[in-house]
Each structure stands twice: as structure tokens, then as C-alpha cells.
Chains A and B, each alone.
Chain A
Amino acid sequence: GAGVSQSPSNKVTEKGKDVELRCDPISGHTALYWYRQRLGQGLEFLIYFQGNSAPDKSGLPSDRFSAERTGESVSTLTIQRTQQEDSAVYLCASSLGWNTGELFFGEGSRLTVL
């Protein structure tokens, strides 16, 4: 596909369970970002990958959150022992490089923790 692809689009889980969210960036985009957006709120930066460089994890809210990316391909965001406050839309975006703020967003993964 031509755009950023995220899965699942919706995930309902019970408190304490682990969840994994997937992002497939636009082909050729070396930079990949994860954001969190709670209902009615702005975008909260989580983590950023640029090529094979060490990721910028400065936005991860706790050690329950982790993300991986292999090369310039798919990324997974993992949330362990989910809490109700983790309920949000998790947005992935990619861009051509680290020095551009022109991001292309996926449709998001809506996470609901019961």
C-alpha cells in the first residue's frame, strides 16, 4: 500500500494483559514515530526511530512500554501489564528522514483497557 499501515485498528483488552501494536511505514521512509492520543487531547510523543541509529525513547511513559524496529521496516509497540490509563489511540507516522517534520500518519490503533 501507499500509506502507513497500522494493526490492529481496534484492540480491547483486560487490565494486566500485554498488547502489541504494529506499524508498517511508507516504503523508503527512514524515520518512524509513535504517538499516543488520548480522547480529546493532543499528540504525545512516545518514541522515534531513524534508520539504524539508536531510537529516541525519551517519550515512553514507563518501562511497561517498549518498541522495536528492524532496519527501515515494520515497527512494533508493546505495552506490558496494561492499565486503564493506557486507553488511547496509538498513532504511527513515517517521514523521509530525521530532519523533516512532514510526517505521514497511519489510521491508528485504538486501545481500550477494561
Chain B
Amino acid sequence: QKEVEQNSGPLSVPEGAIASLNCTYSDRGSQSFFWYRQYSGKSPELIMSIYSNGDKEDGRFTAQLNKASQYVSLLIRDSQPSDSATYLCAFQRGRGADGLTFGKGTHLIIQP
């Protein structure tokens, strides 16, 4: 059964702090993991992808993957008010949309 769990929030973080978003998944066959950001009233946009265990850094964003524990996380350093959005995690088994499952998202609020 393919499921992805995210805390819906809202998660409130003060400006300049580290925001930590977590996601767990149940499909052990998952191979690829993604974080999408969705601003209110807008479409999702890809911000990070991660395929192997460990950390992947891109600017202020770090994605962390632990396949043994079946979780993936996203850290946002030096949080800015413009980071306020809903963050969707998604995973893929490996073939097409059948394996691409989105979580319901975590609503992040960065407080100035």
C-alpha cells in the first residue's frame, strides 16, 4: 500500500530560524523522492529531488533521506517570510505517475 504521511501543520517558525519538514512513506520500493513547494493559489513547483541516502544541499535547502527508516525531510535554513507555503513531499517507485505519490503537504508559516 502506497502512502505518504506529512503533518499538515500549520508549522510556525520565526524568521531566520531553521524550518524542519518531515515526511514518512510506507512503500519500501520507493526509489526517488521529491519536495514541491506550493504557494497559496498557485501550482506546485519542484524545489528538491533526492535519490540516495544522506543529505543533499541546494542553497538554503537541505533534503535528507533515510530509506531504512522510510523518511525524508527538508530543512530550510535562515527562513524567510517568502518561504511561507505548503510543502508537498512525493515519492516514486520508478515508473511513471503510478509510482509518484504526493503527500497532502505541510503548511509552513515564517513569522517576521
Q: Give the interface of A toward B (CB within 8 A).
A: 31, 33, 35, 41-43, 45, 48, 50, 56, 58-59, 91, 98-108
Contacts and interface: CB of A to CB of B under 8 A. Distances in A.
A7 to B, nearest CB: 14
27 contacts: A33-B97, A42-B88, A42-B103, A42-B104, A45-B102, A48-B97, A48-B98, A56-B96, A56-B97, A58-B98, A91-B43, A91-B44, A98-B95, A99-B94, A99-B95, A99-B96, A101-B32, A101-B34, A101-B90, A101-B92, A101-B99, A101-B100, A102-B49, A103-B44, A104-B46, A105-B45, A107-B42
Top 10 A-B pairs, shortest CB-CB distance: A42-B104, A48-B97, A105-B43, A101-B92, A43-B102, A98-B96, A101-B100, A101-B34, A33-B97, A101-B32
B88 A43 contact: yes
Interface in B45-91: 45-46, 49, 88, 90-91
Interface string B22-55: 0000000000101000000011111001000000
Contacts of A45: 97, 100-102
Which secondary structure characterizes the binding site on chain A? loop
B49 to A, nearest CB: 6
Interface residues of B, number: 24
Contacts of A31: 96-97
Given A41-B104, A56-B96, 6 more contacts: A31-B96, A42-B103, A48-B96, A101-B91, A101-B100, A105-B43
B67 to A, nearest CB: 16
A105 to B, nearest CB: 4
Contacts of B103: 42
Contact of A107 (B34, B43, B49, B98): B43
Nearest to A35: B102
